[in-house]
Amino acid sequence: MYAKKVMEYFKSPKHVGTIKNADGVGEVGNMKCGDILKLYIKVKDNVIKEIKFETFGCVAAIASSEALCRVAKGKTVDEAEKLSNEDVIKELGGDVPAVKVHCSFLAIDALKKAIKDYKK
Ligand code: FES
């Protein structure tokens, strides 16, 4: 059902965890299934230097969290703010089952919240 990249990111995510003294934290939940995603960012010189996630969710949500971290890391805050769910799907090889696309939105929503938190 899932593409190779989705399974790879689900099985071996490199960005799972928390960041102590994070500059921004974003937490979002999916009302339909109750899954939760918490994203932490560390910013230096306006660049996202570190990014970690804790996701209590399905395969697509975890793989999307990992994909989002890979896409956002090293970007300036302004560049990261312009990322969309399409960038996450692209990082996943462009192949997320239609019924699971809503799960992938958790990651991008959490990033936007973390950036908002950082800017406060
Ligand atoms: S089923 Fe809950 S995020 Fe995918």
Phi-psi bin for 73: left (phi > 0), alpha (psi -120 to 50), beta?
A: beta
- In tens digits, the chain (120 residues) has pLDDT values of 678 999 999 999 999 999 999 999 999 998 888 999 999 999 999 999 999 999 999 999 999 999 999 999 999 999 999 999 999 999 999 888 888 888 889 999 999 999 999 999
Taking CA atoms only, the protein residue closest to ligand 1 atom 4 is 103
- Tell me, what's the pLDDT at 17? 98
pLDDT at 102: 86
The per-residue pLDDT for 31 is: 83
Separation between Cα atoms, residue 85 and residue 87, nearest integer Å: 5
* Pocket-testing residue among 6, 28, 30, ligand 1, by greatest number of atoms within 8 A of Cβ: 30
CA of 28 to the centre of ligand 1 (A): 12
Distances (CA, A) of 97 to 1, 28, 50, 75, 85: 7, 21, 29, 28, 14
Domain regions of the chain by residue span: 4-119
The CATH number of 4-119 is 3.90.1010.10
Cβ within 8 Å of residue 10, ≥6 positions away: 2, 59, 62, 63, 66
pTM reported for the whole predicted model: 0.95
